[in-house]
Copies of this chain bind each other. A is one copy, B any other.
Amino acid sequence: MVVRLALLGVGAVGRGIIHAVAEKNLGLIITAVADSRSGCIDPNGLNLKELLDRKEKIGICGDTSINAEAIVQTAPYDILVEITPTDARKGEPATSYIKEALKRGCHVVTSNKGPVALHYHELFTLALKNNVQFRFEATVAGAIPILQTLMHNLGGNEIQSLYGVLNGTCNYILTRMAEEKLTYKQALDEARTLGYAEADPTYDVKGIDAAIKLVILANTIWKKNVSLDDVDVTGIDLLTEEALRLAEQQDATIRLIGEIIPEDNVYRLCPRIIPKEHPLVVQGSLNAIIVRTDLAGDLLFVGKGAGSLETASAVIGDILSIRDMDAGGN
Q: Which residues of A contact B (CB under 8 A)?
A: 16, 20, 24, 26, 124, 127-128, 131, 133-134, 137, 143-145, 148-149, 152-157, 277, 279, 293-304, 307, 309-310, 312-314, 316-317, 319-322, 324-325, 328-330
Contact = CB atoms under 8 A, between A and B. Distances in A.
Nearest to A148: B153
A294 to B, nearest CB: 8
A277 B133 CA distance: 41
A153 B317 contact: yes
Given A145-B154, A152-B148, A297 B302 contact: no
A145 B295 CA distance: 13
Nearest to A299: B303
A302 B303 CA distance: 12
A12 to B, nearest CB: 13
Q: Which 8 A-B pairs have the closest CB atoms?
A: A145-B153, A156-B316, A155-B320, A143-B296, A295-B313, A300-B302, A296-B313, A325-B329
A306 B20 CA distance: 36
A317 B145 contact: no
A298 B293 contact: no
Chain A residues touching B, majority SS = mixed
A314 B296 CA distance: 8
B301 A300 contact: yes
Contacts of A297: 143, 303-304, 307, 309-310
Nearest to A142: B296
Given A296-B314, A297-B303, A297-B304, 8 more contacts: A124-B330, A131-B328, A148-B152, A152-B324, A153-B317, A156-B316, A156-B320, A296-B309
B321 A155 contact: yes
Given A133-B329, A330-B133, A156 B20 contact: yes
A133 B328 CA distance: 9
A26 B128 contact: no
A34 to B, nearest CB: 22
Nearest to A107: B329
B152 A320 contact: yes
A299 B314 CA distance: 13
Contacts of A295: 16, 20, 143, 309-310, 312-313, 316
Contacts of A329: 133, 322, 325
A299 to B, nearest CB: 4
Given A128-B330, A300-B300, A300-B303, A153 B153 contact: yes
Nearest to A157: B313
Contact of A321 (B16, B153, B313, B314): B153
- The residue in A131, A295, A301 that gathers the most chain B C-beta atoms within 10 A of its C-beta is A295
A159 to B, nearest CB: 11
12 contacts: A24-B156, A26-B156, A148-B152, A153-B317, A277-B277, A296-B304, A296-B309, A296-B313, A297-B303, A297-B304, A301-B301, A322-B329
A301 B300 CA distance: 6
